[in-house]
Amino acid sequence: MSLKRHIPNIVTLLNLFSGCIAVIFAVYGNFVAAAVFVFLGIFFDFFDGLLARKLNVQSPLGIQLDSLADLVTSGVVPSIIMFKLIALTTDAYNFNGNENNWSSGFELKLLEIPILPLFGLLIALASAYRLAKFNLDEDQQTYFKGLPVPANTLMILSLPLILEYQNSDVINAIIINKWFLIALTLLSCYLLNSNIKLFALKFKNWSFKDNAVRYMFLILSVVLLIVVQFAAIPLIIALYLILSLVSRKNIY
């Protein structure tokens, strides 16, 4: 049996391994470290499919394994982070108020799990449902139907990173609001499983005419990241949705 057919699956397992480490950090409230390993997992997730196509070793096993890895890295991790954030806003955890240590200052009170933060776990359920649908949908080759789970994960992960690095009292007040977090969770679940068609960043050629929307999205994303840093991530997701909706006739 040729070794090359296993290379993409090994990369997929590295995605899963990164996601497992991210889960551990997220459970302990170290969201910055969790984000690093999620980013690493998404990196592996991008390259496993690319390698499978380049090596011509795509297989049903690889497709299923990819979704299982994504469920952990891009489903379980963001749901734990949202659980923790909502718990923070409802005083379900002790918080020492030290902005330099906020990401590791959670302590579970008496091992009691409050009800409201459980809304955050809906992200894992919605991600699992979305991934299962994706595996059965043969139409999503040049576009996505609903928000891809990695994009949704980046949106959720941006929240603690904004709190940690942006130093904006206005933005922090919005994020540390239980109703905002619950509304974002419900919106996230809807977007993951909606029928909204979103363009994929797959270039059949390098022509600007044929890929104008993709180039515009990439250029504006880079500008936003430079200007507003981590706060750009939710804006980039919004930009992705808007460009997909206004340009739907030209990108599929």
- Helix then strand count (H, E) for the chain reads 10, 4
Q: Where are the beta strands (DSSP E) in 74-189?
A: 93-94, 107-108, 143-145
Radius of gyration of the chain (CA): 19
For residue range 81-115, list pLDDT tens digits in order: 999 999 988 865 544 434 444 444 445 444 556 78
Q: What pTM was estimated for this model as a whole?
A: 0.85
The pLDDT assigned to 200 comes to 83
* Backbone phi and psi for residue 148, each to the nearest 5 degrees, phi listed first: -60, 145
For residue range 195-221, list pLDDT tens digits in order: 888 988 776 666 767 778 888 999 999
The pLDDT assigned to 160 comes to 95
Sign of the C-alpha dihedral, residues 133, 26, 79, 166?
Answer: negative
Domain boundaries, the chain: 3-195, 200-252
- Structure-derived torsion over alpha carbons of residues 36, 38, 41, 43, reported in degrees to the nearest 10: -70
For residue range 144-201, list pLDDT tens digits in order: 889 999 999 999 999 999 999 988 889 999 999 999 999 999 999 999 999 888 988 7
The pLDDT assigned to 122 comes to 97
* Residue 47 predicted with pLDDT over 50: yes
| Class of the CATH domain delimited by 3-195 | mainly alpha
User: How confident is residue 240, by pLDDT bands cut at 50, 70 and 90?
Assistant: very high
Average pLDDT, the chain: 85
The pLDDT assigned to 250 comes to 53
For residue range 106-139, list pLDDT tens digits in order: 454 445 567 889 999 999 999 999 999 888 877 6
Lowest mean pLDDT among 60-69, 73-82, 179-188: 60-69
